[in-house]
Structure 1
C-alpha cells in the first residue's frame, strides 16, 4: 500500500476534510486545500508506484516537480521542450518542431515505464489516454498510480504563464480548464480518476509546502 504525507497517509487521511467512504471507511482522496489545512512537506509513495501531477498550464506543476521530485525520478514535458528549444534556431517557431518534442517526451516516458522505476510524471490533464497508459503500466508491475491535482485559479495560472514567458492559446486553455474541472469534481466527490488508487488535492499554498516527493520500500 502506498503512503502519502509526513509519515503515511494515503488512503488514510488526517486532515479535517478527508472524504469518507461506505460504512465510515476513509476514502482514497485527500484534500489539502484551504488555509485551515496544514499540508505535509513530504509526500511518500511505495517504491515502483507512479505519480502523475495534473493542473492548469502555468499552475505550478513543473515548479513542484523540479523542487520536490528531481532526486527520485521525474518525466516533465517542459524539460523536454526546453532541451529542444536550446538546440533550435531562436527564430524557428515551436509549432514546427513540437511533434518531435512530444515524440521525445513519450519515448523517454516509455523507457522509464519499461524499467519498472518509480516515476513522477507531468500531465496536462486533457489527455486521458496518458493516465490510462500509466495506470496499465502500474498494474503490470503490481503497483499503483496516484494523482496529485493542483487546484489553481485561472488568474493564477495565467500569471504563471506570463512569468515563464509562454502562454497557451485561449482555445487550449479552455480545454485544460474543462479537463481539470472534471478531475476536481470527481475527486471532491471522493472518486479518483479511473485507474488511480488515490488523489491528493493541492492549492498554491499546500503545493509550495511540499519539498519532497519520495518513494520508499
Structure 2
C-alpha cells in the first residue's frame, strides 16, 4: 500500500484505508498517525534506498527494542555504543564519567554509516536537534528523504520501560526529554514537521509492537 510520493510507504494487512489518517502537509511532506489502532497498524515500513529514518521518543519508550526487532543491520543506536563501553569499564565507574566517550563512539559510527550512502535508521533521544539538522543536510546532499518515527507513549509507560531494562534517567533528564519529545509530537500533529523532514509517523506502544520490519527498497 503506497501512501505518499516521497519514497516512504507502509505494507501490512488489516489497515482500513478510511482510518489511515495520513495527511499531506505541504509539498511532499506527510504525517501518518498510527496511534489508537489496538495493534492493527502496518507490519512493515519501507523507505526508498538511501533515505534516512530517525526514531525518537522518551527514554524507555521502546526505541532500541523496536530497532533491534525491525531494523537489524540497518540501525545506528546509541544504546549499542553504551553497552559496548559498559562491558569494558569497571562496574563501580559511573556512566557519567565515560558518557562523552560513548557519545563520540556513537557519532563516529553514524558518520561511517552515512558515508556508505545506504539507508540508515538512527536512534535519536529527541533532545539533540543538531543531529536531526546533520541528517537533514545529509539527506539533501543525497537527494533523498529524511523521515521521523515518533514513539508517543505516556511518561508512566516510559518509566516502566526504564525499570524493565534496569536502567533509568534522572528526574531532570527525563523532564528535559519530555519537553523535547512533546515539542516534536505537537509539531508533527500540527503539520509543522522539523526542517528537512519529508514525513513523520506517530506510533503508540501497540503500533510499535506491531511493526516487524523497517527497510529500504524501490517502490513496486
TM exceeding 0.5: yes
Q: What is the aligned-residue RMSD (CA, Å)?
A: 1.8
In 1, distance between residues paired with 2:39 and 2:29?
A: 17
CA distance in 2, matches of 1:126, 1:155: 19
* C-alpha distance 37-16 of structure 1, shift in aligned 2 (>3 A): farther
Is the Cα–Cα contact under 8 Å of residues 15 and 31 in structure 1 kept in the other structure?
Answer: no
**Structure 2 residue matching 1:160: 3-state secondary structure:** helix
Quote the Cα distance in structure 1 between the aligned partners of 2:28 and 2:139: 23
Please tell me whether residue 89 in structure 1 is matched to residue 114 in structure 2.
no
TM-score norm. by structure 1 comes to: 0.91
SS of equivalent residue, structure 2 residue 131: helix
1:42 equivalenced with 2:44 (yes/no):
yes
CA contact (8 A) 1:54 1:123 kept: yes
CA shift, 1:89, in A, is: 1.1
Cα deviation per residue 1:115-147 (whole Å; 9 max; x = unaligned)? 211100000001100000000011111111000
Consecutive unaligned residues in structure 1, runs of 5 or more:
8-12
Which residue of 2, 7, 15 maps to 1:2? Answer: 7
**Kept after mapping to 2: 8 A contact 1:45/1:214:** yes
Name the counterpart of 1:170: 171
- The CA distance in 2 between the partners of 1:37 and 1:65, in whole Å, is 17
Mapped pair 1:18 → 2:19: no
Please report the TM-score for the alignment, with normalisation by the length of structure 2.
0.90
Deviates more, 1:27-36 or 1:111-120: 27-36
More strand by share: 2
How many residues align structurally? Answer: 209
Structure 2 residue 127 is matched with structure 1 residue 126: yes
Partner of 1:199: 200
Residue 185 of structure 1 corresponds to 186
Unaligned runs of 5+ in 2: 1-5
After TM superposition, the runs of 4+ consecutive aligned structure 1 residues lying more than 2 A away are: 13-22, 35-38
Displacement of 1:191: 2.4
**How far 1:36 moved relative to its partner?**
6.2
2:69 corresponds, among 67, 70, 73, to: 67
After superposing the two structures, state which structure 1 stretch, 31-40 or 83-92, moved more: 31-40
Contact 2:25 2:191 in 1 (8 A): yes
Change in CA separation of 1:92 and 1:34 when aligned onto 2, cut-off 3 Å: same
CA contact (8 A) 1:18 1:27 kept: no
